[in-house]
Structure 1
């Protein structure tokens, strides 16, 4: 988790895009702020990663396979 949180504030869009991908898989609400920030990022790659993370998280919740962390 710490690595993903550090990546979320890196200057390189490729690295910032890694954060929502990983954090979205956890299904934990405490990372919502990072996903919201990523969704508002100027880089299209980061916004797309945030949207995919949110969609994936919603699908996992619906299927009941969300991480119980």
Structure 2
């Protein structure tokens, strides 16, 4: 049985990272293409909202994936 999406532990990626590994970690955890997440994140920055702040907070609180 597949593990619930909400019960998965979220880590910053140590291998699939561009800046801090946040989006790579989200992509690895939920099976999403990391490049797509990066493009959507950059595109969303032109919209009003706290996207950069949310990314920085996630970078600060998400632990790196253990080996």
Q: TM-score range by the shorter chain?
A: 0.3 to 0.5
TM-score by length of 1: 0.32
Pair member with larger Rg: 2
Higher helix share: 1
